[in-house]
Amino acid sequence: MSLSIAASTQALSAETVFDLLLRVRQKSPRVHAITNAVAQTFTANALLALGAVPSMTISREEVAGFAASTDALLVNLGTLDDARRQAIPVAIEAAKKAGKPVSIDPVFVDRSPLRCAFAQELMAFKPDLVRLNEPELEALFPERTKAEAAIANGAVLTVTGVEDKIESKGEDYRLRNGHPLMARVSATGCAGGAVVAAFASVEPDTALAAACGLSVFNIAGEMAAAQAGGPGSLVPELLDALYSMTSRDIETRLKTA
């Protein structure tokens, strides 16, 4: 029987979050990110600062080998050009066959019916994680029963907003870390999705991995905002925060609803 939202959230301790962060730093998992052109550099640097390793080819000829040998696959639909459209199903199939966690970030499916239809096709691969905001959730799953079916098939839905919601067949979490300045920098959400994928590569409880990875990234954003003078200085401060985060930082800042 799954825990209630309140019980799951209250059970998320700073010690658990830091333990998973240490596991990422110790194991240095490789995350293959088929992400959008705007987010590639920031995503790669966020993974490196965290302690993970990025790979990012979108070549259809290469992507199966990269995806099969990765520790986690991230698919971000932010710039869905022909090359990415062709590579994504190949990568997901290879990663799933190899038993690697697959995370899908259906960026702006609420703005493009073609993109939304493509994302709905990808759900047939039964991704482990789907990270999206409320408008994207409503577009991808126009009926709540469809979202429930995805969860029943094993997907963990991570719905970001002022309060982040993580829903799964087991634990459900409500989290409140983050800072408004993060929304003033392009691709912070995309980089956060990569951090969550890295956590999913070291923790088989995908909902717990999502809760811990999202908490670490959003706490890093809070730490960065406290030092930054504005959006221009937020990014380097955020990378430094991911690199240097301590158990004390998590203990003093972790916010659960």
Angle, in degrees to the nearest 10, between helices 231-244 and 40-50: 30
The CA-atom distances, in angstroms, between 217 and each of 9, 95, 100, 194, 244 are 17, 24, 22, 10, 12
Strand partners, 244: none
Task: For helices 206-227 and 231-244, give the axis angle rounded to 10 degrees.
Answer: 130
Expressed in angstroms, the distance from the first to the final Cα of the chain is 22
* pLDDT of residue 119 exceeding 80: yes
* Res 120 pLDDT > 50: yes
The per-residue pLDDT for 8 is: 72
Question: Given this model, what pLDDT does residue 62 score?
Answer: 97
- The pLDDT mean for the chain works out to 95
Percent of the chain with pLDDT over 70: 97
Mean local confidence (pLDDT), 27-47: 97
Residue 6 reports pLDDT greater than 90: no
Reported as a pLDDT band with limits 50, 70 and 90, residue 2 is very low
pTM of the model: 0.95
Q: Note the pLDDT of residue 39.
A: 95
Q: Which helix (H) or strand (E) holds 31?
A: strand 30-34
pLDDT level of residue 162 (50, 70, 90 thresholds): very high
- Determine the Cα–Cα distance for residues 30 and 229; give it in Å rounded to an integer: 32
Instruction: Provide the percentage of residues in the chain whose pLDDT is more than 90.
Output: 93
According to the model, what pLDDT value does residue 1 have?
A: 33
pLDDT at 7: 65
- What is the tens place of the pLDDT at every residue in 59-85? 999 999 999 999 999 999 999 999 999
Q: How many domains are there within the chain?
A: 1
Residue 56: CB partners within 8 Å, gap ≥ 6?
Answer: 32, 33, 34, 35, 40, 43, 44
The H or E element spanning position 138 is helix 134-140
What pLDDT is stored for residue 170 in this prediction?
A: 87
Q: What is the pLDDT of residue 4?
A: 58
26-30, 168-172, 250-254: least confidently modelled range: 168-172
Of residues 116 and 146, the one with the higher pLDDT is 116
- In what order do the strands lie in the sheet containing 30-34? 53-55, 30-34, 72-76, 102-105, 129-133, 156-160, 164-167, 173-175
Distance CA 222, CA 250 (A): 11
The secondary structure of 32-58 as a DSSP string is EEE--TTTHHHHHHHHHHHT-EEE---
Q: Domain of 231: which CATH number?
A: 3.40.1190.20
Domain span at 100: 5-253
Mean pLDDT is highest, among 7-16, 47-56, 165-174, for: 47-56
